A and B are shown apart, each in its own frame.
Chain A
Amino acid sequence: MKKRRWFINLLKEEKWLNDRLAEGYACRRIGPLGGYTFEPSGRRMVMRLDYQDRMSAGKYEDYKMTYADFGWTLLKGSRWGSVQYWQKPADGRDEIFSDAGSLVAFYKRLTHYALTMACLFFIYICAVFNGRIFNAMFNIKASYLTDGLWEMEGSSFWRAFLFETPFAMLRFLPAWIFAICCLMCLYSYYQYYKLKKNYA
């Protein structure tokens, strides 16, 4: 079974994945663009998501080795500052954090991650839209570049309008997509921040 999903909040992604596993599946592969491959599984599986900042090759080996010794299999992850997807058969010892200190440290890493992502999206939209982000978002007419399009009438208008709409959307939608990403990152930041405060 293949599913395509896109998450910004890591905790929601973890919840969604575990809901699938609870239906009797095991996750076999996680693609780079939000494609999840599941297969039926006789054993009840659990997944836990961790986030780690960039680390040296040696440290990453130690990290993976520690988790592997506890029975976790790495489905996806890298040492370049990324989410680490761990899966194992459920056996009652299914958490990756066992004390408040390490949980706070985890939420701290998440808030940094969310804030970094929000900043990156913000820089990206500023660069791509030359700082005229509000113009790009709200002036939809400016996305149409055909000369005199808005003065045309009747069928010639509709033909030119419909012809250009896909191209105009390519200019218009990214501004919205990235602005929404930016807001979602800030929202995740806030949620992680609240959780962190519960434990610290």
Chain B
Amino acid sequence: MKHPLLPLSETMHYILLSLKEPLHGYAIMQTVEEMSAGTVILAAGTLYGAVENLSKHGWIEPVPGETGRRKVYRITQDGERILEIERRRVEHLLSLYETRDLHEET
């Protein structure tokens, strides 16, 4: 059966992509805002819940050895696998945007 978090919501998608570099909570929000050109601005409760959810499924993990009070997260191998599945889905959708553009062909 398909994983309940798939397809990824926009929030989860951006967070997973941002965590290809290790970041703590607030830095995730800043990175996502930048990556999305200001269209996705995560609020505190949404970010906390998403990070909780993603670590529960083992797609992200706290970076060991970080000594600050803020937990720093990064993507895991399972998370990378999920992104690969999502990449194929999005690429397929994109290809449909090309081939189903019937107006341009006529």
Contact = CB atoms under 8 A, between A and B. Distances in A.
Interface of A: 48, 50, 59, 61-63, 65-67, 69-70, 72, 86, 93, 95-99, 101-102, 105-106
A65 B72 CA distance: 12
28 contacts: A48-B45, A61-B69, A62-B48, A65-B70, A65-B71, A66-B47, A66-B48, A69-B26, A69-B70, A70-B26, A70-B43, A72-B44, A95-B43, A96-B43, A96-B45, A96-B46, A97-B45, A98-B41, A98-B43, A98-B46, A99-B11, A101-B9, A101-B11, A102-B11, A102-B45, A102-B46, A102-B50, A105-B49
A4 to B, nearest CB: 28
Instruction: Pick the most buried of A65, A96, A98, A106: most chain B CB atoms within 10 A of its CB.
Output: A98
A96 B44 contact: yes
A67 B49 contact: no
B9 A50 contact: no
A70 B46 CA distance: 12
Interface residues of B, number: 22
Given A86-B44, A101-B11, A102-B11, 13 more contacts: A62-B71, A63-B48, A65-B25, A67-B48, A69-B25, A70-B26, A95-B43, A96-B45, A96-B46, A97-B46, A99-B11, A101-B46, A102-B43
B32 to A, nearest CB: 10
Instruction: Pick the most buried of B25, B29, B42, B49: most chain A CB atoms within 10 A of its CB.
Output: B49
B98 interface: no
Nearest to B26: A69
B10 interface: yes
Contacts of B42: 98
Interface of B: 9-11, 25-26, 29, 40-52, 69-71
Contacts of A95: 43
Contacts of B69: 61, 65
A2 B40 CA distance: 39
A33 to B, nearest CB: 26
Nearest to A55: B52
Nearest to A103: B46
Contacts of A97: 43, 45-46
Contacts of B29: 70
Nearest to A68: B44
B37 to A, nearest CB: 16
A63 B51 CA distance: 10
Nearest to B45: A96
